[in-house]
């Protein structure tokens, strides 16, 4: 049972160690966070694609907190034991102009609204032929930075933040380096599903609650976050294997773009779906992987798309 609930309105935008904590806890405290979606409620069941173009980016990626952990000092680590998620049943995925791996190719806004069963957490329908397996997690988990002032929430940082690691789900344990007294922990950007890479810039963005426990590890001296998982990380997608495309060359970013572009083309040929729909679908369930990075001068980036989605 959570000893405290951090309510939806108890959130902030950006990282700033001057933000006053909403709660002070002893190490070992279990908390529940009622997280809004990454649009801060700007996109709803009734939204249309016109609402994507009108997003207020000053309200993007709210995070609940900050939480002051007693005894936390620079050089320590906060151990985050991630518990259960309580999903809302609603989500959205969007192509936001100017954002995403292939922003130069997909310049128009697009929006997909999702509805899913919160009891069964059965795969959610993307279309009449595609259903996406779900795996709730929080995309943004982090601590305040030592540098003064307000820092954007968008890029991930040394102390965590918007890492968008889908494996930081139930049962995972995350260690975050402390740079300021109390750590000042915050969490948000909850997702119902996402592929590794979040290539279009959004996942199944979904408001939900998450329960976790915050502990203190003295003298950890971490240079960046690390985490452990409780078991396999892609079992929910492995059942029918994968379609895989590659990008090969001397630049990893170019390779990633080529691998994704080729998958979008392949899904269009195999299943007859529009390119922007394939792009958004790849973002919520496909995985970018570095397959080879030692055979000079060319590296291999692969994009894995789970065939179970069309099964």
**pLDDT, tens only, 166-222:** 999 999 999 999 999 999 999 999 999 999 999 999 999 999 999 999 999 999 999
Whether the predicted pLDDT of 36 surpasses 80: yes
Whether the predicted pLDDT of 1 surpasses 80: no
Supply the pLDDT for residue 237: 94
162 neighbors 143 (Cβ within 8 angstroms): no
**Rounded alpha-carbon distances, angstroms, from residue 311 to 102, 164, 242, 264, 289:** 27, 27, 11, 18, 23
197 neighbors 285 (Cβ within 8 angstroms): no
Domains of the chain from N-terminus onward: 4-228 (2.60.120.580), 235-310 (3.10.28.20)
Express each pLDDT in 53-76 by its tens digit. 999 999 999 999 999 999 999 999
Express each pLDDT in 128-171 by its tens digit. 999 999 999 999 999 999 999 999 999 999 999 999 999 999 99
Distance CA 217, CA 199 (A): 34
pLDDT mean across residues, the chain: 97
SS3 276: helix
Pairing of strands 287-292, 299-306: antiparallel
192 neighbors 87 (Cβ within 8 angstroms): yes
Give me the sign of the Cα torsion angle 156, 161, 163, 164: negative
Query: Residue 52 — very low, low, confident or very high, per pLDDT cuts 50/70/90?
Result: very high
Query: Residue 3 — very low, low, confident or very high, per pLDDT cuts 50/70/90?
Result: confident
Distance CA 80, CA 226 (A): 11
Cis preceding linkage at 33, omega within 30: no
């Amino acid at each position: 049972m959570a000893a405290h609930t951090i309510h939806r309105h108890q959130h902030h935008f950006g990282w700033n160690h001057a933000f006053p904590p909403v709660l002070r806890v002893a190490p070992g405290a279990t908390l529940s966070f009622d997280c809004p979606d990454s649009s801060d409620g700007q996109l709803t069941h009734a939204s249309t694609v016109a609402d994507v173009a009108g997003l207020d980016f000053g309200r993007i990626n709210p995070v609940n907190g900050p939480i002051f952990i007693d005894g936390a000092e620079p050089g320590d680590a906060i151990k985050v034991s991630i518990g259960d998620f309580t999903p809302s049943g609603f989500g959205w995925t969007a192509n936001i102009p100017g954002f995403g791996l292939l922003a130069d190719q997909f310049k128009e806004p697009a929006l997909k609204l999702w509805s899913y069963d919160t009891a069964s957490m059965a795969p959610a329908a993307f279309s009449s032929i595609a259903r996406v397996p779900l795996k709730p997690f929080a995309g943004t988990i982090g601590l305040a930075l030592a540098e003064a002032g307000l820092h954007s929430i968008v890029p991930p940082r040394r102390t965590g933040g918007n890492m968008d690691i889908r494996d930081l789900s139930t049962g995972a344990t995350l260690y975050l380096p402390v740079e300021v007294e109390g750590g000042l922990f915050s969490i948000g950007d909850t997702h119902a599903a996402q592929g590794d890479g979040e290539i279009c810039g959004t996942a199944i963005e979904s408001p939900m609650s998450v329960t976790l426990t915050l502990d203190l590890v003295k003298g950890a001296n971490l240079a960046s976050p690390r985490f452990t998982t409780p078991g396999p990380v892609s079992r929910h997608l492995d059942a029918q294997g994968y379609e895989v495309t590659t990008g090969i060359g001397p630049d990893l970013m170019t390779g990633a773009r080529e691998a994704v572009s080729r998958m979008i083309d392949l899904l269009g040929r195999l299943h007859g779906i529009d390119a922007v729909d394939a792009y958004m679908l790849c973002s919520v369930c496909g995985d970018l992987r570095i397959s080879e990075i030692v055979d000079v001068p060319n590296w291999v980036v692969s994009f894995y798309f789970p065939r179970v989605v069309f099964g």
